[in-house]
Amino acid sequence: MSAKFITLEGGEGVGKTTQIAAVCEFLEQRGIACVATREPGGTPVGEQIRGVLLGNHVIAPETELLLLFAARAQHLQEVIRPALAKGHWVVCDRFTDASFAYQGGGRGVAEGMIEALQAQVQAGLQPALTLLLDAPVEIGLARAKRRGPADRFEQETVAFFQRVRAAYLARAERWPGRMRVIDASGTPEQVKAGVISELERFCP
C-alpha cells in the first residue's frame, strides 16, 4: 500500500495527542514507518507561528486563518510531502478540518476563503483518513483544564466550542468515507479501541 496521510481531529481535550501514539503503534506493528507530527507546528517556523497563535495576542479571525495556513504550507513542504515521498505514513494531530471547524464554524470566517487557501496550499493533497474524536464539549474542556493553564483557544466560550463541534460533525457527514467519528467520551482505553477498530477497517 502506498504511504498514507492520516489526521486526528476534534475539539479541545478530546484526546488527539493521547491517541496519536496508538495510531503509530498500530502502524509500526504492521511494519509501516510512521511520522507523527502536529499542527499548528511540526517545523521550526511552524512552532514559532504556533506560539503566536496560542499566546495572549488579539488576533483577527482572518489573520488567525492565514497564520495557520502559513504554518501548514511550511509543514507540507518541509515534513509531510517529503515523508510521503519516502514511503513513510504521516499521522498529523490536527489539519485543515480544524481550520474549517475553528476559524469557519467557531469564528465565522467565510468557508470560501478557507477553501481557496486549501486549494492553493495543499494542491490536491488530502488526508486519506481522518479520525474525528468526538465528545461533549464540557468533557473535553474539563480534561484540558486539568492538564494546565488555558491557551488563547481554550479561553473561548462553551458556545464557541459547540460551534466547532457542530462544524466538525457536519464535515464528517459530508465526507463519511474519509472522516470517521469516534466516541471520545470514554476512558483512554475505550477511545483507543475505537481508534484501532477504524484503523483495522482502513488497513486490514
Ligand X SMILES: Nc1ncnc2c1ncn2[C@@H]1O[C@H](COP(=O)(O)OP(=O)(O)OP(=O)(O)O)[C@@H](O)[C@H]1O
Binding site for Mg ion (CB under 5 A): 16-17
Among the listed residues 3, 17, 78, 150, the single contact to ligand X using CB under 6 A: 17
106 closest CA partner among 115, 116, 97? 97
Residue 118 makes contact with ligand X by CB under 6 A:
no
Among the listed residues 13, 41, 106, 127, the single contact to ligand X using CB under 6 A: 13
Residue 167 makes contact with ligand X by CB under 6 A:
no
Q: What single-letter DSSP state applies at residue 87?
A: T
Residue 16 makes contact with ligand X by CB under 6 A:
yes
Residue type, 124: G
81/143 with CB nearer ligand X: 143
Q: With left for phi above 0 and alpha for psi between -120 and 50, is residue 140 left, alpha or beta?
A: alpha
143/152 with CB nearer ligand X: 143
Helices (H), the chain: 16-29, 44-54, 61-75, 81-85, 96-98, 111-122, 137-147, 158-174, 188-202
Question: Which parts of this chain interact with ligand X (CB under 6 A)?
Answer: 10, 12-18, 143-144, 146-147, 187-188, 191
